[in-house]
């Protein structure tokens, strides 16, 4: 396999993935902060990550596959994969705007009006506006169709009421998008409307929720008669389920989890094995190899899928195959690294706001820095099999829609 899959997997003529890769690599080398930014799930860290996005956008690297008019480069999908590989390989900061970039934007490209694209996308590309997703509710998780939050028609717009929860980034984000029940009495998938709303609007209360790692990665959103203009409906009122499912497929499949994340983690895992692995421990060696093979398989599969999509193919229920695969792979990669670290794997990333006396542990190359990064990644990976549709739901989708087993 060549190191540039784009070179041998249906790259469009005219584009030059090698030069683009070099540009991205050079830019990242010059700009990625030497010391990791503070956690994105703190107010200070959120602001620092927003600042980083400004830098990315100024180099026109924040949304390379978008049209030029919205801040992108009109780059082919395979270039986007190249960007992602380089981005993760450079250990660049987490994308604070990822919910908007990878969930809302694809939905808008498919269903949005020209005005919505003009209004939403440019500030999203620069992270001047950061979006949170508002899908789940206390009683609507995997069973998303049991949504209860309502949108009531009023004065040419809508009034939103109800509770959304597990809303990633909502603690510090500016805006949010989600599904609301707009036809009283309508059941399940019908009578739902896809809406965007302002998290700072009157009637919105956000309650940050500390995650098991101690950070406020998501939040609960309470909506009490929040007024939203009709122009903020995506697609037709009542057609929200269909609109949302196009986003769900993006979340499960290509967009949210580019292979770069896993390829970079696998490379770091192999490096960790080189430094800390006991050659006699072939059981652990084999786990490292299997994790590397999994990351390679996901990368190759994604490139092949991207080539197919670029050639006019579509992505449907098969995105469920990928969702289960990458989420299990992510856990495996990180668990293997922690097992390699042995007792050091207990060392968590320091949180200066909670334990100011431990600031010395911030040294990124120190034991705590190394182990803490793997531990953070591990805790994050544990959420993968749950969010974006639990893996149990995905397996049922695979069995019924791809294999044709009886319902």
Partner 1 sequence: MTPGRSGEQAQFAASLHDMLADAEVPAAARRWAAGDRAPGLAVWRALAALGVTALAVPEHDGGLGASVADVAVACEELGHHAVPGPVAESVAAVPVLLAALSAGTEPADLTAGDTADGDTAGGDFAVRGWPVPWLAGLAAGELIATAAMPPWLPWAVDTGVAGLVLLAAGDTVRLAAPGARYRSVDPGRSLSQVTGGQVLARGPTVASAIARALDAGALACAAQLLGAGRALLEASVRHAGLRTQFGRPIGAFQAVKHQLADVAIGLEFAGPLLEAAAAALDEDDKHVARDVSAAKVACTNAARRAARTALQVHGAIGYTEEHDLHLWLLKVRALAGAWGSQAEHRARVMAAISAPASADGADRQTTVAPPTVDPPPADPPTAQRPTAAEDPAVGLPTAGQPAVAQSTAERPAAAGEPAWS
Residues forming contacts to partner 1 in the complex (CB under 8 A) are 1-3, 8-9, 270-271, 273-274, 282, 285-286, 288-290, 292-294, 296-298, 300-301, 303-305, 307-308, 318, 321, 324-325, 392, 394-396, 398-400, 402-407
For partner 1, the closer of residues 38 and 253 by Cβ is 253
Contact criterion met (CB below 8 Å) for 379 and 337:
no
Strands 131-134 and 175-181: parallel
- Minimum Å distance from CB 283 to partner 1? 10
- Minimum Å distance from CB 17 to partner 1? 15
SS3 (DSSP) at 24 = helix
Task: Write the DSSP assignment of 258-301 as a string of letters.
Answer: -THHHHHHHHHHHHHHHHH--TT-HHHHHHHHHHHHHHHHHHHH
For partner 1, the closer of residues 73 and 395 by Cβ is 395
For partner 1, the closer of residues 224 and 286 by Cβ is 286
Active site positions, annotated: 251
Q: How many helices (H) and strands (E) does the chain have?
A: 13, 8
- Minimum Å distance from CB 139 to partner 1? 21
Contact criterion met (CB below 8 Å) for 52 and 45:
no
- The whole-angstrom separation of Cα 334 and Cα 52 is 26
319-341 and 367-383 helices cross at what angle (nearest 10)?
150
For partner 1, the closer of residues 193 and 255 by Cβ is 255
- Minimum Å distance from CB 62 to partner 1? 24
- Minimum Å distance from CB 229 to partner 1? 42
Residue 298 structure tokens: 């996901």
Identify which of 252, 387, 266, 400 has the alpha carbon closest to the alpha carbon of residue 321.
252
Tell me how far the alpha carbon of residue 291 is from its chain's centroid.
Answer: 21
- Minimum Å distance from CB 304 to partner 1? 4
Residue with tokens 């037709």: 236
Identify which of 369, 294, 389 has the alpha carbon closest to the alpha carbon of residue 91.
369
For partner 1, the closer of residues 153 and 405 by Cβ is 405
For partner 1, the closer of residues 50 and 268 by Cβ is 268
Residue 347 structure tokens: 């060392």
For partner 1, the closer of residues 193 and 394 by Cβ is 394
Q: What is the DSSP letter of 182?
A: -
Residue 397 structure tokens: 């989708």
Residue 110 structure tokens: 């498919």
Percent helix, strand and coil across the chain, each to the nearest 5: 50, 15, 35
- Minimum Å distance from CB 20 to partner 1? 17
How buried is 29 (Cβ within 10 angstroms: 0-12 exposed, 13-18 middle, 19+ buried)? exposed
Strands 157-168 and 218-229: antiparallel
- The whole-angstrom separation of Cα 126 and Cα 3 is 31
- Minimum Å distance from CB 130 to partner 1? 33
For partner 1, the closer of residues 87 and 273 by Cβ is 273
- The whole-angstrom separation of Cα 353 and Cα 166 is 23
């Amino acid at each position: 396999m060549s190191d540039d899959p784009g070179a041998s997997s249906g790259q469009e003529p005219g584009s030059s993935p090698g030069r683009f890769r070099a540009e991205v690599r050079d830019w990242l080398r010059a700009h990625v902060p030497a010391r990791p930014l503070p956690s994105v799930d703190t107010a200070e860290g959120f602001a620092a990550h927003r600042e980083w996005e400004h830098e990315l956008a100024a180099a026109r690297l924040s949304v390379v596959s978008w049209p030029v008019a919205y801040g992108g480069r009109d780059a082919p999908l395979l270039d986007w994969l190249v960007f992602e590989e380089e981005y993760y390989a450079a250990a660049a900061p987490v994308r604070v705007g990822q919910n908007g970039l990878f969930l809302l934007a694809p939905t808008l490209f498919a269903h949005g009006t020209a005005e919505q694209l003009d209004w939403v996308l440019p500030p999203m590309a620069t992270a001047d506006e950061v979006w949170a997703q508002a899908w789940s509710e206390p009683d609507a998780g995997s069973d998303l169709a049991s949504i209860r939050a309502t949108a009531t028609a009023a004065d040419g717009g809508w009034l939103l009421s109800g509770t959304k929860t597990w809303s990633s980034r909502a603690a510090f984000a500016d805006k949010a998008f989600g599904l609301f029940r707009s036809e009283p009495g309508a059941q399940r998938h019908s009578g739902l409307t896809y809406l965007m709303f302002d998290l700072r609007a009157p009637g919105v209360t956000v309650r940050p929720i500390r995650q098991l790692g101690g950070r406020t990665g998501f939040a609960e959103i309470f909506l009490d008669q929040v007024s939203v203009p009709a122009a903020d409906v995506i697609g037709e009122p009542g057609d929200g389920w269909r609109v949302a499912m196009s986003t769900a497929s993006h979340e499960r499949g290509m967009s949210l989890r580019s292979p770069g994340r896993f390829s970079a983690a696998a490379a770091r895992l192999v490096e960790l094995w080189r430094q800390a692995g006991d050659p006699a421990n072939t059981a652990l060696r084999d786990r490292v190899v299997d994790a590397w093979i999994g990351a390679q398989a996901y990368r190759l599969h994604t490139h092949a899928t991207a080539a197919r999509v670029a050639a006019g193919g579509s992505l449907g229920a098969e995105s469920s195959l990928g969702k289960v695969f990458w989420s299990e792979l992510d856990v495996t990669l990180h668990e293997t690294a922690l097992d390699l670290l042995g007792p050091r794997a207990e060392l968590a990333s320091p949180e200066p706001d909670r334990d100011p006396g431990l600031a010395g542990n911030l040294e990124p190359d120190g034991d705590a820095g190394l182990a803490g990064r793997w531990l953070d990644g591990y805790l994050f990976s544990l959420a993968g099999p749950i969010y974006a549709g639990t893996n149990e739901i995905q397996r049922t989708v695979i069995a019924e829609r791809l294999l044709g087993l009886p319902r």
